[in-house]
Amino acid sequence: MHAFRYFPMSDMQETEALADGVKRKPAGGTPDHKPPIAEIGLGTSVQYVKGVGPKRFKLLERCGILTLEDLLYYSPLRYEDRCDVTPICRLNVDENAVVRGTIIATQWKGPRYGSKSRIEAFVRDETEQITAVWFNASEHLYKRLIRGHRIILYGKVGCYRWLQMVNPTFTTAETDEGLDKFRAIVPIYPLTEGLRQGELCRIIIPAAQTYANLVEEVVPASVRQANNLLPVQEALKTVHAPPTIEAGDTARRRLIYDEFFVFQTAMAVRKRITGLASGISFRIGPNVDKRIRARFPFTPTAAQERAVREIADDMRSDHPMSRLLQGDVGCGKTLVAAYAMLAALAERAKGRQVAVMAPTEILAEQHFLFLRRLLESAQVRLMLLTGSQSASERKQNLDAILNGDVDLIVGTHALIQEDVEFKNLGLIVIDEQHRFGVAQRHNLGRKGPAPDVLLLTATPIPRTLALTLYGEVDVSIIDEMPPGRAPVRTLLFDSSEEDRAWEAIRQQVAQGHQAFVVYPVIDESDKLDIKGATSEAERLQSGPLASARVCLLHGRMKQEQKDAVMEQFRKRNYDVMVATTVIEVGIDVPNATVMVINHAERLGLAQLHQLRGRVGRAQFPSYCILLAESAGPDAAARLRTLTKTNDGFKIAEEDLRLRGPGEFLGTRQSGLPEFLIGNIVDDREIMETARRDAFALVASDPRLALPEHSVLRRRVLDRYGKRLDIVSIA
């Protein structure tokens, strides 16, 4: 058995910091050019901080630490408790521990045959013996290990013939003072290559004690009291050198609150400013309401009704609407959005236009068809604007939009390109909002004088993320499915059992239903061992699904081809659609009852849930079969979440937890703010409290004009003024 473990040499440096105290002069001494303390401010470059030379400055920079303020707020990831000494006989292998004993022998083996040099010390307490081993250590270290002297070791306990610690931190100070300094709660910081924990401790801990007093309180006293928050200066000192782990965690949470509070204040201010802007006050009276409902193919659910009411209220008000409509796949967001569109177009004399933006051409087309049916024999002039139209066609379309010859324009991102100008844009609807960045959203918003904006999202964004991403937006939630839906049954099989999936498809097709078979890529890849849609479509058609009519849909096909296939599938001229994940969003074919997803292990939970939403859209019992390529236990556990719940919010939470916010949203340009200390998943409660407090504060002092809010105001403008376009509070 090899219980051998290497510990980074860095720990040894830490020894000195902790054993000999942080007062020690840092290596290299203090350069003469450092300004006197009185001149140091929070914005001062970290290179003027004691212990930071040019080399460390570079390393700190890589950690995002540029100024003294950055340094003070550079928070530990966690703490290690080195307070309790364990008798050697009670050590557990693989656990960190502190032991205290006497050095009974030492030896130094120089490097041999390419192996590393090794120093060993045999340490004994009243109960047992342990070997401390240091690899590649210096002679200096060896000289500190004196037979008969007391030593305290900290490290992970291993077992290699004997109990041992590899590269432990240690002190040979025999005094109680030395011991006290060694015994501590040690902060563990995020590092970059070349920077060691001990070094960072030696820079940060004294800096925090010296300079924390420069930091002004952003959170007003009343809010601090209400939440029982530590003074920020105390929190900054404690977070780097806490007396107990609990104290460190409390201090950390306090700093996270600060960070979130400033962010949420910015959101509240921004929301207030958008609310002040003047927008269109749509006239939506009982007649308009009745006329719209008369066109609806079904009675809205209670949840749809609620959303409709909220939207109509927004539209009637003379402030521009900014609302996110959230709801699980298949809950019927389109109908609600259609209400808003028709309401915006109701006053014909005003000549207002509505723009609907979808993330893919297929979806844009589907919306277009739905709206065309809904608006049959109405006077509304519709247009579909996509990227694949020819230049001359596009030119014609753009002219029509600019001249007001069309009322309702459905499109892809082609809608937000610079050359698209509306004559009189009244409402923007963005479907599957999470697929567009925030910047794009703003772009479209600038096309006219403050139009109303309605965002739809079928990726149920967990609440915390919604508060962060859309902090300034109102949210309506549809939490109910249209009646008569049987929940989709989800099954997980190993890909070697794929025949069970084909059998399910054959059965459903025999009953007159249709199926989707999804592959992650268009063309198979030998290197990655992934099956591709193209060749699989052929294999299935000529093999397991020979009795069915199979078609193929993927993103590389020409638009007309895609349209034709979609149309034929909708008309039931095909039974099985083999596709890539292009069908993930929005495709609505209620007769489809089976979805088979290949290589499910390669897709995120939220994405799988989206895909699954393509079936179970009518009263028929439906199935989703996940085929996984011999997934490891982690992947299998992840996929099993889907077999257990159909609740998109739960799945999204789980996905967010597993993958982190950046990956979850799939884009860098998602507009997610980066927080230094806080994590929007783990610290969601703090985010919610901070939001509540910040919105209350802005409600009572909208311009942050009160003297007790001046520090907050400055911080908000510094950090978010430009980005959120809220400079106008100044």
**Site residues for ligand ADP per CB under 6 A:** 298-301, 304, 327, 329-335, 458, 482, 588, 590, 617
Q: Which does 287 bind (CB under 5 to 8 A by kind): ligand ADP, Mg ion, none?
A: none
Whole-angstrom distance, CA of residue 361 vs CA of residue 383? 13
Among 73-81, 459-467, 581-589, 604-612, the segment contacting Mg ion (CB under 5 A): 581-589
Q: What residue is closest to ligand ADP based on CB?
A: 332
Whole-angstrom distance, CA of residue 1 vs CA of residue 5? 12
Residue 383 CB, nearest distance to ligand ADP (Å)?
21
Residue 682's Cβ-side half-sphere holds a number of Cα atoms within 13 Å equal to 11
Residue 327 CB, nearest distance to ligand ADP (Å)?
5
Q: Which does 329 bind (CB under 5 to 8 A by kind): ligand ADP, Mg ion, none?
A: ligand ADP
Residue 531 CB, nearest distance to ligand ADP (Å)?
28
For 92, phi then psi, to 5°, come to -110, 135
Distances (CA, A) of 729 to 223, 270, 565, 707: 22, 9, 53, 15
Residue 704 CB, nearest distance to ligand ADP (Å)?
39
Name residue 63's amino acid.
C
Q: Which does 532 bind (CB under 5 to 8 A by kind): ligand ADP, Mg ion, none?
A: none
- In the block, which residue shows the tokens 């992934």? 530
Of residues 615 and 716, the one with the C-beta less far from ligand ADP: 615
- In the block, which residue shows the tokens 């000195």? 16
Whole-angstrom distance, CA of residue 29 vs CA of residue 560? 72
Residue 94 CB, nearest distance to ligand ADP (Å)?
49
Size of the site for Mg ion (CB under 5 A): 1
**Which residue, among 63, 75, 70, 76, has the nearest Cα to 42 in the 3D structure?**
70
Residue 266 CB, nearest distance to ligand ADP (Å)?
31
Binding mask 330-359 for Mg ion (x = CB under 5 A): ------------------------------
Residue 462 CB, nearest distance to ligand ADP (Å)?
18
Of residues 229 and 355, the one with the C-beta less far from ligand ADP: 355
Of residues 353 and 360, the one with the C-beta less far from Mg ion: 360
Q: Which of 76, 220, 445, 586 binds Mg ion (CB under 5 A)?
A: 586
Whole-angstrom distance, CA of residue 65 vs CA of residue 71? 6
Q: Which does 279 bind (CB under 5 to 8 A by kind): Mg ion, ligand ADP, none?
A: none
**93-96-102 Cα angle (round to 5):** 85
**Residue 193, both tokens:** 């290559």
The Cβ of residue 171 has, within 10 Å, a number of other Cβ atoms equal to 22
Residue 370 CB, nearest distance to Mg ion (Å)?
10
Whole-angstrom distance, CA of residue 433 vs CA of residue 436? 6
Maximal CA-CA distance, the chain: 100
Of residues 246 and 647, the one with the C-beta less far from Mg ion: 647
**Residue 200, both tokens:** 């960072």
Among 96-104, 172-180, 578-586, 663-671, the segment contacting Mg ion (CB under 5 A): 578-586
Of residues 321 and 458, the one with the C-beta less far from Mg ion: 458
Q: Which does 6 bind (CB under 5 to 8 A by kind): ligand ADP, Mg ion, none?
A: none
Residue 559 CB, nearest distance to ligand ADP (Å)?
21
Q: Does 248 bind Mg ion (CB under 5 A)?
A: no
Of residues 164 and 459, the one with the C-beta less far from ligand ADP: 459
Whole-angstrom distance, CA of residue 341 vs CA of residue 312? 11
Residues 156/95, Cβ–Cβ less than 8 Å: yes
Of residues 586 and 671, the one with the C-beta less far from Mg ion: 586
Residue 279 CB, nearest distance to ligand ADP (Å)?
26
**Residue 618, both tokens:** 């009518």
Q: What residue is closest to Mg ion based on CB?
A: 586
**Which residue, among 168, 95, 157, has the nearest Cα to 128 in the 3D structure?**
157
Whole-angstrom distance, CA of residue 653 vs CA of residue 660? 10
Of residues 22 and 429, the one with the C-beta less far from Mg ion: 429
Q: Taking the chain, what is the end-to-end CA distance rounded to the nearest angstrom?
A: 67
- Evaluate the CA torsion angle 459, 463, 469, 471 in order and state its sign: positive
Of residues 267 and 606, the one with the C-beta less far from Mg ion: 606
Residue 442 CB, nearest distance to ligand ADP (Å)?
24
Of residues 198 and 359, the one with the C-beta less far from ligand ADP: 359
C-alpha of 389 from chain center: 35
Q: Is 631 left (phi over 0), alpha (psi -120 to 50) or beta?
A: beta
Residue 589 CB, nearest distance to ligand ADP (Å)?
9
Residues 127/87, Cβ–Cβ less than 8 Å: yes
Of residues 60 and 308, the one with the C-beta less far from ligand ADP: 308
Of residues 460 and 586, the one with the C-beta less far from Mg ion: 586
595, β-bridge pairs: 516, 624
The Cβ of residue 329 has, within 10 Å, a number of other Cβ atoms equal to 23
Binding site for Mg ion (CB under 5 A): 586
